[in-house]
Amino acid sequence: MRIELNVNGVTRTLNVEPRTTLLDCLRDALDLKGAHAGCEHGVCGACTVLFDGVAVRSCLMFAAQAAASAITTIEGVTPGPGELSLIQDAFCETHGLQCGYCTPAMIMVAHALLADNPEPTREEIVDAISGNICRCTGYAQIVEAIALAAERMRGVNRPRSLNK
């Protein structure tokens, strides 16, 4: 079937089987490999993308269901080739990852969280990432990355006089 998908601000017309998941569509039809398949039954969260700004599991929905919505993937939040967003840089600073397989999804969750809540508590961060399984890190450095990103994002718009 023919569908129109708006991904990372660009609308494309695609031919997909009705049963194609959004995840497979992103990876195979659009060559956006940053969303990963982990369990394909909605538990691990490695396939998380933003659906009109909300973090969702792309393995649990069909590509056809995503038509008429704005999909954002990790490729869409990366500022440019070789350039990192503030959140991505914070993950590097704290080493909030190891194998990197769950990482793009964690960063998408962080984007969704920080868009709503610029000053999350540790509990709120823990809660936000609790639907995403990381097997490498034990989460500590992920939580620190998101807290650091939040702090830096708040700092970006602070008047210089307050940055003492």
Which x/- pattern, by CB under 8 A, does the window 34-63 give for other proteins?
xxxxxxxx-xx-x-----------------
User: How do the residues of the chain divide into helix, strand and coil, expressed in percent and rounded to 5?
Assistant: 40, 15, 45
**Binding test (CB under 8 A) with other proteins, winner from 134, 147, 149, 150:** 134
Residues in the chain: 164
If the CB atoms of residues 68 and 117 are measured against other proteins, the closer one turns out to be: 117
State which residue, 33 or 68, has the beta carbon closest to other proteins.
33
From residue 42, alpha-carbon distances to 17, 39, 50, 58, 61 in Å are 21, 7, 15, 9, 10
CB of residue 56 vs other proteins: minimum separation in angstroms?
17
Shortest spacing between CB 162 and other proteins, in angstroms:
27
The number of C-alpha atoms within 13 Å of 88 and in the hemisphere containing its C-beta is 14
Residue ranges of alpha helices (H) inside the chain are 22-24, 74-77, 86-94, 103-116, 122-128, 140-156
Provide the mask over 73-112, with x wherever binding to other proteins is found by CB under 8 A and - wherever it is not. Answer: xxx--x-----x---xx-xxxxx-xxxxxxxx--x-----
| Strand-pair partners of 21 | 62
Binding site for other proteins (CB under 8 A): 17, 19, 27, 31-41, 43-44, 46, 73-75, 78, 84, 88-89, 91-95, 97-104, 107, 122, 126-127, 129-143
